[in-house]
Amino acid sequence: MILLASPGQGAQTPGFLQPWLEIPGVADRLAWWSAVTGLDLVRYGTTADAEEIRDTAVAQPLLVAAALAACETLYGDDDLPGAVAGHSVGELAAGVIAGVLSAEAALVLVRERGRAMAEAAAVTETGMTAVLGGDPDEVLAAIDKHGLTAANVNGAGQVVAAGTVQALADFAGDPPAKARLRSLSVAGAFHTEHMAPAVDALRRIASGVRTADPSTRLLQNRDGAVVKDGPEFVERIVEQVSTPVRWDACTATMRDLGVTAIIELPPAGTLTGLARRELPDVERVALKTPADLDKARELIKAHAS
């Protein structure tokens, strides 16, 4: 079974969309989605610098648009993958691929999500730090000790701590034993209580979104559940803005479902890296540029059921 994975914020790098514009039709789709979001997605994905695309209101629509453009290029009108999942904002791309949302509806939601989260992040100076390695219980205890939240529990010895900049600085001065800390290029403490205002803002518009039930297995970050109801999926992704991402639970579900191959949509690498350690027997393709399309298509032929 193939699982298609869409990465979350922090995966973006300057110029990552440039090679995709060589694919016929991609520039046209991005121009249309730029009109939907009110952002010049082509410029942000090609010539904008790292600081510009770090902006939450820019990064989130850019990531969703990139994932959808690559998915359309890869699959066209072919059958859907056996399962889909997205990390954080990548869930909106996963919802489109599974048929729950139209691309336009997802891009409106992600536009408003990004704006609301950026506004919430501006209230208090916050951030996120990846914690790599260390004893899992000791890592979580240290995060709690410093008044932080384990905002992403990714598995493979990776947890992301989130909270105020001061608390993160204190945490860096007193890290868990045998753990490495790496500051993330994000603009706030996502998936924590600091994002509560964004949940309220997003819920006000999400109730008007038209949905369909998923036409393939759609995993969700809260608990790794396979969601079978369209409105439930939308409500879950609204709440997810202020609650932790449990990618470890999604990985456990992949194992239970019998996933045999994972293709990660651009900007790819993060989720296939986690899978390499957590699901070593699962084949993987990180779809970074169009040069990776042939490998992805070969994987689809070998593993599609």
**For the chain, which domains are there?**
2-122+192-298 (3.40.366.10), 124-183 (3.30.70.250)
Helix (H, G, I), strand (E, B) or coil at 161: strand
Query: Known catalytic residue: 194?
Result: no
| Mean pLDDT rounded to a whole number for the chain | 95
The answer to whether residues 221 and 171 touch, using CB atoms and an 8 Å cutoff, is: no
Distance of alpha carbon 139 from alpha carbon 156, whole angstroms: 13
Question: Within a 10 A sphere around the Cβ of 167, how many other Cβ atoms?
Answer: 20
pLDDT at 231 exceeding the cut of 90: yes
Going by pLDDT thresholds of 50, 70 and 90, the confidence category of residue 186 is confident
pLDDT at 71 exceeding the cut of 80: yes
Q: Which of 160, 238, 152, 248 is nearest to 195 (CA)?
A: 238
- The confidence score (pLDDT) of residue 305 equals 60
- The confidence score (pLDDT) of residue 156 equals 80
For residue range 235-283, list pLDDT tens digits in order: 999 999 999 999 999 999 999 999 999 999 999 999 999 999 999 999 9
Query: Known catalytic residue: 191?
Result: yes
Q: Which of 6, 34, 87, 88 is catalytic?
A: 88
pLDDT at 85 exceeding the cut of 80: yes
Q: Which of 87, 146, 191, 194 is catalytic?
A: 191
215-220 mean pLDDT: 97
285-299 mean pLDDT: 97
Which segment of 96-100, 201-205, 259-263 scores lowest on mean pLDDT?
A: 201-205
Distance of alpha carbon 144 from alpha carbon 4, whole angstroms: 33
The rounded radius of gyration (Å) of the Cα atoms in the chain is 18
